[in-house]
Each structure stands twice: as C-alpha cells, then as structure tokens.
Structure 1
Amino acid sequence: METFRVDESGYTGFKLLNDEQPFQGACAVAIGDDDARRLINEHFPRLKAEELKYRRLVRRENSYPRLLALHSDILSHYKCVTLLCDKRFLLMMMFLSYATEPWFYRRGADLYADGRDLALASVLYYCGPPLLGKDHLDRILVSFQDAVKEKSPEAGWKLVEAVRASDWRQLPEILGPLGGQACPDCLEAIATPGVSTDAAFIVLQALISRMEVMADGPYRIEHDRSTNLQRYNEVLNSFIGHQETATFRQSDVAEVSFPLKLTSVSQVDSKDSPAVQLADVMIGIAIDALGGMTKIRPVAFDPEKVFSTYLTEQLIHMVPTKDFAGLRRSHRGSQASELIDFIGRNFADSFPDSRR
C-alpha cells in the first residue's frame, strides 16, 4: 500500500502571532524508506549524524547545494505536496469565521462563496495596518485569540472593546458585527467549547485534499512521533472510516471526497524512518524560502529558484493575495460552506469548532 510520509514546521498551537515563527507548513512525500535511504546516501554520502535534520544541515554553508539538489530530486521523481501558511493570515481567516461570518449567516449570506472569506482576510491583512493602525489591529487579533481560548464573557467583551477602540468603520464588512452591534451570534461562536485557533485541522484538510488526488488507491500516512504532531494524528484518525459519499469543490485545483482513500495513520521515531527525514528537509526548505521571499528573514539560497522547481499541484499556499479577481475566478462555485456543514454534522465530536 502507498505510504505518504508527513512532517511539519512552525506549529505553535493556538498562538498564531509568533514573530519568530510566522509561517506554518506541512509536507507529504510518497516514498519508501529504502528509496529514502538511497537518496540520503547519494546526496550526503559523508553524513555522520544518526538522522538527516534540515535545521542542523542548514547551519553549514557547504550543505546548501546538496540540500537543494535533494529537494529537486524528490520533486522530480516522487509524489509530493507541500502546504505553506502565513499564520497571521490564518488568524484573520479564523476571525472572519467566528467574529464576522455568523452575522452574515443569520441574514442568509454565504461569506464563503467564491472565496469571499479569503478576499476579506486579504483586505484585513493589507489594509488593516494603515487604516486601523498596526497596534490597534494587533490588539484586536490578540484579544480574539484570547477570547477563543478563555471562553469567558469578560474575554468576549474585551474583544468588542478592542474593536470599538479602533476606527472599525473603515472596514465595516469585517469589524461591523462586533464593533457596531457586539453581535451575540459571533460572541457565542467564539465561546463555543472546542473552537480553537489551532490551525492543525485547516492544514491537514488542505493537505489531505491533495493526497487524495495523488494516491492511486488506498494509502496510509506515517509521521514523526512528536508533541506537535500529536494533534495532527488526532485529526487524521477522525477522518478514517467515515463511509458517507460526498464531494466538495474548494477551488479550481482542489476538492475533497468522502469516504477518503486514507486507511490508517501511524507515528514513528524519525530516527528510524529515512522517509520522514526527507519530509523534514522538504518542509524546512519551503518554510525558509517563504521567509526569504517575504523578506522576513535572510536565506542563503534564492527563494524564487526554490519555488520555480514546484509544479502547481505540488504546492498549496494559504497566504494573502492582492489578486482579488484571480481569487474569485479560482474559487467560483466553491462548496466551502457545504463542506463546513458536512464536517459539523459528521465530525462535531472530534471538531466542535466545525459546528455552525
């Protein structure tokens, strides 16, 4: 049976505003341990460490060409998909889902249709700092994150106060439900048990949608045995075995169908799995390349060159965009709202945050 090896980078739980780790990502590679061991020996014949670790290798400049060659080799010869997220943007998407969308839903409007939620999150990302002031926007986002975690009326009202302390009328479609009305539906959604700003579910839902397309038949997932990936393990296991038939279009390059081809998920020690070690290298390079492209941090290699080696289907972005026409075009006919309702009906015990 085909096995995808998965590793992640940048996971910080519910705390998405982390200046040191602004990006989160995950990579899945369909490769066996024998092939992985062969590739490691070919590209790093003098490796002395007990396992291939990207963060260790990237400290040495003489490793750069070998890392990039390995990265290109995997993309060229194996099924592989990498997902990259701007965590600040993800938090804004969640703000729209809980602090804005319930107001629209009550009035019969679908905020998820044709990528509207992604467009509004991009507007908040780019226009929020100049229109509201970065300090005001940060206070709103921190208050939202705290309110979701604490679930108390006091935390909810602190969020309302943070919105009202800003010039929220500059962005009424986004901030109006809380700033103008302190919308009870929105505050209730934020306080719902299980609702979280942990992005593991969002990341894996997107990754699975692409693995399902790449897999020729039933497949399994193997990932590192780490505290960070424990939440990923819980998410993956909840999907396995659901038999209701349904398909949901998400964009012109992504859809998800149930029942999944995924049959099992297991955790291993990365020291015992050369294939998982390769997933670690792939996501490490991608995260650093994104940091270099956005000028967040300097990198020793050319980010443009790194991203040019990916095929369209090998890379998923969850980052803001200014191409609103292109966003609407690629998400026309999206069934994101229907997928949310489906998950809420069938997986509410595992994902209380998916309930309407």
Structure 2
Amino acid sequence: MRTYYVDETGFTGEDLLAEDQPIFVQATNDFSDAEALELIASCFGSIGSVELKYSRLARGVRHKDKIIAFIRALAADPMRAGVWVAHKEYALMTLVVDWWMEPLAYRHGLNLYKDGGNHAMANMLYSCLEGFWSSTFRRKLLLHFQRMFRARTIERYEECRALVEKQKQRVDGDREEILRYFSLSFMLLGYQHVTSVPERVLDIALTGLVQLGHAWNERHQGPWTVVHDQSSNMAKQKWIWDAYSAATLPEARFENPGTVAQFPMNVVQTQFGDSVQEKQLQVCDVLAGACAAVLRFDRNDPEDVAYREKLLEAGIESLIIAGLWPSTDVTPESLGRKGWDGNVALEWLTQQMHARRPAKP
C-alpha cells in the first residue's frame, strides 16, 4: 500500500494573525524508508542528530548550504514531494468572505461561488483595505472578526460591529462602499449567525490537507495510508478528514481551476507518526521550514535575501502544489474561473459530510 507523509510549520490554530509566524506550510512526500534515509544521508550525513529539524539547521550558515542542496534534490523530482502554502492574514480574509458575506449573498439568491466570486471579493477587499486605509487598519479589522468568530460572545460581536460602524460613519464614496460589505451581515444576519457557524472555522490546516490529498490522488489512485506527525493539531478534526478522504465515498469528479477533486480519495487509514522514527516526517519538516523561509518577504536582512534567492535557484517553487495567497485578480478570466461553479462540489460534499458525522454522545 502506498503511503504519503505530512508535517507542517507555522501552525497557530485559529489565530491567523500571529506576527511572528505569518506563513503556514504543509509539506508532504511519498518516499520509502530507504529513499528517505538515502536523501537525508546524502544531504545531511555529517550532522550528528537523531532528528533533523529545520529550526535548528537554519541557525547555522554552514547548514543552510545543506538545506539548499536538499531542496535541489527534491526539486529534481517534484512529483515525489510538495507543499501547500498559506499567507495567513489573506487566508483570514477569505474566511471572512466565506462565513460572513457568502451566507448573506446565498440568502438573497446570489451564488458567490460562481465564476470565482468569493476569490474576487477576497482579493478586492484585501487590496482595497490597504489602498484606501492602510495595512495596519486591515489587520485591525481582521483581528476584530477573528476575535468574534473565536469567542462567539455578544461582547466580541458588538466590538466588531462598533469598529465597522464607527469607521463607516467617518468615510464616504468608495471607502464607505468597501465597509458596507462588512456591515450588512451585522444588520441582516446578526449575532445568531455567529453562534451557528461550525466549530474551528478559522483553522486552515484541514484545507491544506485536502488539497494535498487531491494532488496525491491525481498522481496515483492508491489505496493510500497517510501518516501525520503525532504533534500535529490535526487530531481535533480527524473525523472530518476521515469522512472526506474515505475510500467508501461514492465516485465523483470536480474539475476545479488548478486542481482536480476526484472521489473517492482512497485513503484507507490515517496514522500519527513519531518524527524521530519516521524519517519521511523529517523530510517534511525541513521542506516546510525552507518554504516558509522563502516566503518571508518581511525579512530584509541581506543574509536572508541571499538565502531566499538560493532556495529559489534550487527550484523550491516547483514544489508548491497550491495555496492561499494574495492576488489582485478579480475577474473570472484572470482568476481562471469563468463558467466554474464551486457550489456544485460544496453541496455534494456537505451532503456526504452530514451522512458521516459521528453522533453526539
């Protein structure tokens, strides 16, 4: 049975605005035990450690050359490894659109998932909040929405509503129009909507795992075993992953822009592994860390810039499978979603998940 491994870096749960970790990366590979050992020995053989960790390797300049060689070796065959990446502040914007604006649109007969409308709105709002105000204001607004969806208390709801309404009263024209997208749901959905959304809606780890699962399923039909690092937070949502990836799901295929969602995904079992014993998880850790480093554009030290350039030259971009990243694209054509309706797959998946949700004790 084929196996792929997954580990992550930059996970901060439902706090998507942690300043010290703006990037979330999930890395994966399907190496055998022998292949993983050979790769580690060839790139890091002189390092006397029972477990490779990117955080330790990256502290020393001499080890960074080994990391670059490691990335070059992986990029030589990008079908054996890959990463899903997320710019967490932008990811939070997409979630505000999904859970705050889309339900209101749906209630009034507008399919925001048609032609990539949800992506266009997230891109537009993310850019306009900075352009019409500042990145600081955008972050402040998103922080209030994050607090509201995490706490789900009337106090946090009112704080968020007050911020939007107070700022809305100070502006007019295009700026008032932008804030109206946020304010309408306070009037028409209300606090009850906040308390009714599913738990952990701001946790993006499952989103990445699903994308990686589809990528592996497209490369090979399985059946698959999935091994996660045992320190992963994924256990809290394992029932959703098990239901989504199960080999018992009916056959279905959804042609999504940039990816194909093919069901069943043929995951027979999902296990949690010890990264000391599972060398493939160490490969994931180093790959995830290197990818997060190359995407940290907030670090402008000459040494960091030079390191990023070398990682890019080694081919790290070829290992990016998919992700959530800011863009200025807002038309169906530029988004690659003309004629595409994401609601078709969403409704099918919702039906499947409801049928497999475990009964509450």
**CA 1:242 to 1:108, structure 2 compared with 1: closer, same or farther past 3 Å?**
farther
Deviation, 1:327, is: 6.3
Deviation at 1:67, TM superposition (A): 1.0
In the TM superposition, residue 306 of structure 1 has moved relative to its aligned partner by 2.9
- Distance in 2 between the 1:259 and 1:273 partners? 27
Counterpart residue number, 2:209: 204
SS at the partner of 1:81?
strand
Aligned length: 349
1:256-314 Cα offsets, whole Å, 9 max, x none, are 122112221111110001111001111111010001xx234542644355346157674
Counterpart for residue 233 of structure 2: 228
In the aligned structure 1, how far is the partner of 2:80 from the partner of 2:233?
24
Q: Is the 8 A contact 1:177 1:183 kept in 2?
A: no
- Distance across 2 between alignment mates of 1:161 and 1:119: 26
- Please show how residues 1-356 of structure 1 align to structure 2 within 5 Å: 1-77=1-77, 79-167=80-168, 170=174, 175-180=179-184, 182-185=186-189, 187-195=191-199, 196-231=201-236, 233-239=238-244, 240-251=246-257, 253-291=258-296, 294-296=297-299, 298=301, 299=304, 301-307=306-312, 309-310=315-316, 314-325=320-331, 328-348=334-354
How far apart in 1 are the matches of 2:113 and 2:179?
Answer: 17
RMSD, aligned α-carbons = 2.7
Contact 2:212 2:321 survives alignment (8 Å) = no
CA distance in 2, matches of 1:304, 1:235: 38
3-state SS in 1 of match to 2:256: strand
State how far apart, in whole Å, the 1-side matches of 2:259 and 2:319 are: 9
SS in 1 for 2:241: helix
Q: 1:183 to 1:244 in 2, by over 3 A?
A: farther
- Please give the alpha-carbon distance, in whole angstroms, between the structure 2 residues aligned to 1:149 and 1:314: 30
Q: What is the SS of the residue equivalent to 1:271?
A: coil
User: Post-superposition shift, 1:193?
Assistant: 4.8
Asked if the contact 1:99–1:186 (Cα under 8 Å) also holds between the matched residues in 2, the reply is: no
**Farther off after superposition, 76-85 or 232-241:** 232-241
Q: TM-score, normalised by structure 2?
A: 0.87
Contact 1:29 1:81 survives alignment (8 Å): yes
Q: List per-residue Cα deviations over 1:161-182 (Å, max 9, x = no partner).
A: 2211224763567642542462
1:199 partner amino acid: I
Return the letter of the residue paired with 2:83: T
Unaligned runs of at least 5 residues, structure 1: none
Once residues 37 and 118 of structure 1 are traced to their aligned partners in structure 2, the CA distance between those partners, rounded to angstroms, is 41
Post-superposition Cα deviations, 1:138-160, rounded to whole Å, max 9, x if no partner, equal 33212211111222333323222
Instruction: Quickly say closer, same or farther: Cα 1:312–1:319, change in 2 above 3 A.
Output: same
Question: CA offsets, 1:51-94, max 9 Å, x none?
Answer: 11111111111112211111121232351221110000010001
Q: After alignment, is 227-236 or 107-116 more displaced?
A: 227-236
SS in 2 for 1:82: strand
Mapped to 2, the partners of 1:350 and 1:213 lie a distance apart of 24
SS state at 1:264 partner? strand
Q: Is residue 5–residue 223 contact of structure 1 (8 Å, CA) maintained in 2? A: yes
In 2, are the aligned partners of 1:81 and 1:316 still within 8 Å (CA)?
no
> Residues 181 and 53 of structure 1: is their aligned pair in 2 closer, same or farther, counting only changes over 3 Å?
closer
Change (3 A) 1:32 1:138: same
Instruction: Between 31-40 and 125-134, report the one with greater CA deviation.
Output: 125-134
Q: What is the distance in 2 between the residues matched to 1:160 and 1:219?
A: 46
Structure 2's unaligned 5+ residue stretches are none
Q: Which amino acid aligns with 1:48?
A: G
Q: Which stretch of the first structure deviates more once superposed, 263-272 or 131-140? A: 131-140
Q: Secondary structure at the match of 1:111?
A: coil
Preserved contact between residue 224 and residue 270 of structure 1 (Cα < 8 Å): yes
- TM-score, structure 1 length as denominator? 0.88
* Kept in 1: contact 2:226–2:269 (CA 8 A): yes
Preserved contact between residue 53 and residue 277 of structure 1 (Cα < 8 Å): yes
**CA spacing shift, 1:92–1:242, aligned 2, 3 Å:** farther
Secondary structure in 1 aligned to 2:311?
helix
Give the Cα–Cα distance (whole angstroms) in 1 for the partners of residues 326 and 145 of structure 2: 19
